[in-house]
Structure 1
Amino acid sequence: MARYVVRRDAGLYGYERALRRAGLGPVAGADEAGRGACAGPLVAAAVVLPDSPGRMIQGLKDSKLLSAAQRERAYAEIIAKAEAWSVVALGPGECDRLGMHVANIQALRRALLRLEVPPRYVLTDGFPVDGLGTPGLAVWKGDRVAACVAAASVIAKVTRDRIMTELAETYSDYAFEIHKGYCTPLHQSHLDEHGPCPEHRMRFDNVVRALEISRERRAAVTG
């Protein structure tokens, strides 16, 4: 059997080129956004990029290394050029019920299974995903070394940021449009002042503490 090695200088598309040479294309990448947030959904995306140098995504990187404007431009280009893409969101209630690790795997699996172009190989960021019926590899920092995973990270991040901006209109006390539900000092100050809203994840210790503070405050007023 032929052996294919991905060189360190192969670039962001190196994994996909090697897998296609081995007859394992199409290759899908999957990643999530919002795992560490204490409010809002967990969003996962999966992407199959085209096997054509002329359709490469310009300036593609891990979404965390791009500005908001760069992510929006990359998002539009990925949507236009991808052979297939999908995105799923798990709400805070489902995240609480499953626990974040299980929710993360569930979200990645659902996104991959929704692809209209079935992949023959799957690359995921950090965690292996079973139950796909397709071979795959969990790649450490996959969104920085594999183009399809980086593309998935952009789709997931942009989708989630848009959701959080919309939620800010409904829950205006929390400034979701600024911190996007992550555990920043600004978010915590609003959380401590107003208590949790339905978009908060009740498994997070800081949310539980804020709920207790809110209950104590109400008890003091009514008592």
Structure 2
Amino acid sequence: MEKQSIAVIKQQIKNNELTDEMVQELMADERKGVQQLLKSYEKQKVKEKQLAEKFAEMSRYEQFAYSKGCEHIAGVDEAGRGPLAGPVVAASVILPKDFKLYGLNDSKQLNQATRDHFFKMIKDQAVSYGIGIIDNRKIDEMNIFEATKLAMQQSIEQLNPSPDHVLLDAVQLKALPYTSESLIKGDAKSISIAAASILAKVTRDNLMKEMHEEYPDYDFISNMGYGTKHHLEKLREIGASPYHRRSYAPVRNIIL
């Protein structure tokens, strides 16, 4: 049988077209380039298996809720509790039962390119999603914990259809008209919460980029409102912007 070129084999691997029989034939191919491709292919398969196992592990809470008769399970998470400026943003999302997105994880564990890619995929494939945004003035009025819960509540209320069950990341919401459970580090334990964490973070990051255009001195595009050395230096130098949280000590102590 005529040997295929390395370029063709590389394309077959890229397109995931290799069968077990083809792999066996390639293992007997003595060309160095082919053996290097096979090593890369094997590593790729190991990684894919690990991601599939991780995804299955993170689907346990959803699968359990499905087994109890729930149809629409919402994951809820927030972004922006710690920064000195900008809003707190919460997201709720109901994923379809057959949803697959290997590599889905807590948004903080993903790089920006992956977050942006997953953000679009989640929005495109979700049964429903909602975004709640509470600005810095409201945060100063009611404190960040209550503002976070309000943002979560707002995001849940936007869901259509309404959820049968809600999975929340580390926060408990009272008086919800459906069952719920709060999971510590839920964005690393539940695909629904992880998806919500990505929607919340990317939405908030985009808002901070807009604020950067207005007030570039604080470098919001890089620090996203967190108290970096440069950010604190600028606060001391030029004071606070309209987007800063006056109730936060680093801001309050500087502007007094």
Match in the other structure for 1:179: 223
Displacement of 1:13: 1.0
Mapped partners of 2:255, 2:245: distance in 1: 11
Matched, 1:33 2:86: no
Q: Is the 8 A contact 1:41 1:89 kept in 2?
A: yes
Match in the other structure for 1:50: 96
Q: From the two aligned structures, give the one with the greater helix fraction.
A: 2
* Aligned residue type for 2:227: C
- Tell me how large the CA RMSD over aligned residues is: 1.3
Q: Is the 8 A contact 2:132 2:153 kept in 1?
A: no
Q: Is the 8 A contact 1:32 1:42 kept in 2?
A: yes
Displacement of 1:25: 2.5
Mapped partners of 1:131, 1:98: distance in 2: 19
> Larger relative contact order (C-alpha < 8 A, sep ≥ 6)?
1
Matched, 1:97 2:97: no
* Aligned residue type for 2:90: A
Match in the other structure for 1:4: none
Mapped partners of 1:169, 1:149: distance in 2: 31
Displacement of 1:10: 5.0
Mapped partners of 1:56, 1:86: distance in 2: 20
2:161 to 100, 106, 117: 117
2:248 to 174, 179, 204: 204
Q: Is the 8 A contact 1:113 1:132 kept in 2?
A: no
Match in the other structure for 1:65: 109
- 1:65-96 per-position Cα deviation (integer Å, ceiling 9, x unaligned): 00011100110110111100111211000011
For structure 2, the residue ranges without an aligned partner over 5 or more in a row are 1-53
* Aligned residue type for 2:211: L
Displacement of 1:132: 2.0
Mapped partners of 2:230, 2:196: distance in 1: 28
1:106 to 150, 153, 164: 150
Match in the other structure for 2:57: 11
Matched, 1:81 2:130: no
Q: Is the 8 A contact 2:78 2:201 kept in 1?
A: yes
- 1:168-206 per-position Cα deviation (integer Å, ceiling 9, x unaligned): 010111110010001121211111111111100011010
Mapped partners of 2:216, 2:227: distance in 1: 17
Match in the other structure for 1:151: 195
Task: Determine helix, strand or coil for the equivalent of 1:69.
Answer: helix
| 4+ residue segments displaced more than 2 Å | none
Q: Is the 8 A contact 1:48 1:119 kept in 2?
A: yes
How many matched pairs?
Answer: 203
